[in-house]
């Protein structure tokens, strides 16, 4: 068994064990294996939809199944806005006149390992979809596939990226999907990461470019953990860094050599004697912002894959972003930096070395001071999103036999998890050689006991172990485990 397979197996087992803690989700049952092959099942009819979100209907030509990630299947799409859904203006076309598009599979482990599949959709012409700006390319992320909280982690990751100011990050909208008449539960429609005036708005150099004055600019790349045909391999310490060039895809020899040379210079600088000079190659503010999101989310894949970087015309340094793929987040509460956990997974070995430089610590300290006082705003975002999707989550639970759903209590615990993690980072920045930011004391307003199963307790609790949640005058909360005797 090769190392990659072994690590993937360990990852699934590791997360499954962690999922028994109160604030984490529980893995889905395998009871529905094989159901995805029944494209028009009365058992999973469209009537199962909660009707509280837009219903996206996609019918493939002759009900053809979607069997791989390479070949688009011709299809038609229309969006129904049910009476219980508030978004009346977001409907699109009709069953009699659907919009033409192609649909195929997407993802890596999410496609290979789960019954509920993610999809890539491509319209024949640019289309505005659920209020998202016109484009041909969108993604349907399957929610509640491996863990039922994956959509919440994905959305919170993008919101945190927006809060720290990481530039453009993919926008999204939750829907219920009916595929060839079969109800498939809750999905999140996301914008694909593309260079475009409505998305990542930077200069895009042409494919097979041979102009040496423009080759250093107009790049979108991904530090990847999977092999790809549009990829170069860069030595990074004792391993190799996979750099997938998303744009341009087809490279001239000059473009390919420039990309190899530039990333080789990055790794050699960081692993060499003049490590502080890494700021000549990577924008420190954007890296600090990206680092904050990954560490606050405890995103184990954050330094492994889906690390996007870009260079605009005139940029001398790479910038981090957009943010993508935060569904491996919030699985445990480690007393360490995320970058130090399971380091054998990392495809970005330069991060621990950069972390120990003064230039990074200065950038991190500056961005953290700007971000930390704003953290409380995330609570409203999480609770509102959970409320919006709660009924669809229940319908999704019935469809996929999920053992856990996201509701208001779950969302509140998720926020409190983020809050505790952010406090740990703030408290431990001094230990990492980074100045600590003191938050002014706030008055205690209320105490609340919660069972370890997540149920609020009325009155004085009986003897046992509980979570004690304290609410302060500034709206913040803290939670700790206590014993009642």
What pLDDT sits at residue 41? 58
- Contact yes or no for 182/39 (Cβ under 8 A): yes
What pLDDT sits at residue 226? 84
Instruction: Please list the rounded mean pLDDT of every run of 10 residues in the chain (485 residues).
Output: 41 38 35 39 87 97 95 97 89 95 90 88 96 97 64 94 97 97 96 98 98 97 90 87 96 98 95 94 97 92 88 96 86 81 69 91 95 96 95 92 83 94 90 51 67 66 68 60 59
What pLDDT sits at residue 346? 63
- Which pTM was predicted? 0.81
DSSP 27: B
Residues 186, 175: Cα–Cα separation, whole Å = 6
Residues 196, 191: Cα–Cα separation, whole Å = 11
The closest alpha carbon to 46, from 177, 166, 231, belongs to 177
SS3 content of the chain, % helix, strand, coil (to 5): 35, 25, 40
Phi-psi label, residue 189: left if phi above 0, alpha if psi -120 to 50, beta otherwise: beta
- Contact yes or no for 309/388 (Cβ under 8 A): no
Query: Which structure tokens are listed for 45?
Result: 């009819």
Residues 24, 237: Cα–Cα separation, whole Å = 35
Q: Before 322, cis peptide (omega within 30)?
A: yes
- Contact yes or no for 447/468 (Cβ under 8 A): yes
What secondary structure does DSSP assign to 184-238, as a single string?
EEEEEEEE---BSTTSB-S--PPTT---TTTTTSSEEEEEESS--SSEEEEEETT
Residue 409, SS3 per DSSP: helix
What pLDDT sits at residue 204? 97
**Radius of gyration in angstroms for the set of CA atoms belonging to the chain, rounded to a whole number:** 23
Residues 155, 170: Cα–Cα separation, whole Å = 10
């Amino acid at each position: 068994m090769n190392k990659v397979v072994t690590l993937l197996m360990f990852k699934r087992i590791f997360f499954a064990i962690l999922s028994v803690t109160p604030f984490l989700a529980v893995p889905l049952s395998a009871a529905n294996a094989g159901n995805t092959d029944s494209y028009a099942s009365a058992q999973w009819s469209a009537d199962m939809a909660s009707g509280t979100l837009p219903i996206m209907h996609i019918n493939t030509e002759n009900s053809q199944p979607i069997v791989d990630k390479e070949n688009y299947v011709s299809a038609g799409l229309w969006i129904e806005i049910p009476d219980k859904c508030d978004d009346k203006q977001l409907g699109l076309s009709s069953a009699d006149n659907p919009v033409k598009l192609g649909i195929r599979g997407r993802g890596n482990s999410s496609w290979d390992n789960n019954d509920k599949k993610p999809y890539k959709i491509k319209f024949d012409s640019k289309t505005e979809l659920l209020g998202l700006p016109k484009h041909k390319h969108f993604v349907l992320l399957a929610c509640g596939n491996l863990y039922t909280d994956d959509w919440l982690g994905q959305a919170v990751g993008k919101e945190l990226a927006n809060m720290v100011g990481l530039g453009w990050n993919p926008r999204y909208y939750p829907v219920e999907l009916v595929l060839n008449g079969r109800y498939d539960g809750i999905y999140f429609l996301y914008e694909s990461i593309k260079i475009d005036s409505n998305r990542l708005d930077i200069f895009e150099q042409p494919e097979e470019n041979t102009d040496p004055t423009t080759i250093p600019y107009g790049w979108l790349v991904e530090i990847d953990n999977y092999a790809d045909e549009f990829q170069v391999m860069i030595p990074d310490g004792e391993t190799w860094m996979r750099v997938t060039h998303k744009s341009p895809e087809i490279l001239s020899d000059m473009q390919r050599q420039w990309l190899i040379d530039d990333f080789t210079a990055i790794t050699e600088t960081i692993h060499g004697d003049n490590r502080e000079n890494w700021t000549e190659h990577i924008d420190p503010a954007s890296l600090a912002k990206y680092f904050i999101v990954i560490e606050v989310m405890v995103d184990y894949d954050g330094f492994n894959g889906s690390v996007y970087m870009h260079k605009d015309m005139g940029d001398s340094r790479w910038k981090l972003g957009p943010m993508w793929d935060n569904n491996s987040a919030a699985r445990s509460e480690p007393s360490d930096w995320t970058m130090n956990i399971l380091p054998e997974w990392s495809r970005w070995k330069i991060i621990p070395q950069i972390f120990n430089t003064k230039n990074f610590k200065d950038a991190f300290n500056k961005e953290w001071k700007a971000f930390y006082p704003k953290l409380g705003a995330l609570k409203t975002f999480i609770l509102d999103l959970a409320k919006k999707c709660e009924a669809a989550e229940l319908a999704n639970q019935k469809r996929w036999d999920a053992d856990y759903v996201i509701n208001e209590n779950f969302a509140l615990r998720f926020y409190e998890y983020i809050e505790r993690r952010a406090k740990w980072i703030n408290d431990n920045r001094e230990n990492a050689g980074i100045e600590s930011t003191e938050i002014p004391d706030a008055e205690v307003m209320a105490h609340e006991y919660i069972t370890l199963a997540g149920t609020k307790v009325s009155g004085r609790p009986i003897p046992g172990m509980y979570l004690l949640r304290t609410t302060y005058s500034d709206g913040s909360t803290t939670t700790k485990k206590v014993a009642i005797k």
